[in-house]
Amino acid sequence: MNLYLRKEYSRGLLLESEVDPNPIRQLQRWLQEAIEVQVVEPHAMCLATADAQGHPDARFVLLRGLDERGLVFYTNANSPKGRQLRQNPYATAVFWWSPLERQVRVQGMVETVSKEEADAYFASRPREHQLAAWASPQSEVIPNRQVLEARMAELERQYEGRPVPRPPYWIGYRIVPHTFEFWQGRPHRLHDRLRYTRHPDGSWKIERLAP
């Protein structure tokens, strides 16, 4: 296995004079460009958390909300990431869009979204996804896949002809960002890196970092 593969980056550049002064809008711009070039699951982000002892963990989740308040994703509050966020409510999210040779890191505190917001999003999900939220004891050990399939069939009968309510443990989380870093691959490993840091008054400071 060859682990010394190398790629030269040459798709673009990242200049202070061309970025939006607001990192949320800059992220929205880059996300839209990733959608336009048909990046596979452009809203997928690697979510890094840590428990009370500082042990790190990471996994991919899907971005389901993005506005001036922050970045929203949904999950089972009883999952490892849910427990970790109760113990240590900070997270980092990382986007990687290979066709554009771009990465974005977002760091911030994490809060839960309102029940009304979670209910509205849950109601928008495909019915099978709603049922799966009830069927899966996320991250628990199960004897086989048939257990899940049997539970799904049972839930389909239980809610036949009726709306599927949101499980009380299925909630939304919002990363309230204090730091963004936008990375654009450049030739010879002289990449562009711009960091946004939030001031106490809500404004943002932009700094260039060495690659």
- pLDDT tens for 22-71 read 999 999 999 999 999 999 999 999 999 999 999 999 999 999 999 999 99
Q: What's the whole-number mean pLDDT along residues 165-193?
A: 98
Instruction: Kindly list the structural domains of the chain, giving each domain's residue range(s) and its CATH number in brackets, ordered by start.
Output: 23-125+168-208 (2.30.110.10)
Q: Which pLDDT value is given to residue 4?
A: 83
Residue 188 CA, chain-centre distance (Å), reads 30
189 is catalytic: yes
- pLDDT tens for 108-164 read 999 999 999 999 999 999 999 999 999 999 999 999 999 999 999 999 999 999 999
Burial class of residue 36 (count of CB atoms within 10 Å of its CB; 0-12, 13-18, 19+):
exposed
Q: Are 62 and 41 in contact (CB under 8 A)?
A: yes
Q: Are 204 and 108 in contact (CB under 8 A)?
A: no
Token pair belonging to 31? 């996300």
Q: Are 198 and 177 in contact (CB under 8 A)?
A: yes
Q: Are 135 and 142 in contact (CB under 8 A)?
A: no
Q: What's the whole-number mean pLDDT along residues 88-94?
A: 99
How far is 140 from 124, CA to CA, in rounded Å? 26
Percent of the chain with pLDDT over 70: 100
Q: Which pLDDT value is given to residue 174?
A: 99
How far is 70 from 173, CA to CA, in rounded Å? 10
> pLDDT class for 7, splitting at 50, 70, 90?
confident
Q: Which pLDDT value is given to residue 6?
A: 85
How far is 175 from 110, CA to CA, in rounded Å? 5
- pLDDT tens for 71-86 read 999 999 999 999 999 9
Q: Which pLDDT value is given to residue 151?
A: 97
Q: Which pLDDT value is given to residue 3?
A: 86
Q: Which pLDDT value is given to residue 84?
A: 98
How far is 34 from 63, CA to CA, in rounded Å? 14
How far is 113 from 205, CA to CA, in rounded Å? 27
Q: Which of these is catalytic: 25, 29, 86, 189?
A: 189
Helix (H, G, I), strand (E, B) or coil at 66: strand
How far is 60 from 95, CA to CA, in rounded Å? 10
Nearest CA-CA partner of 204 in 71, 22, 68 = 22
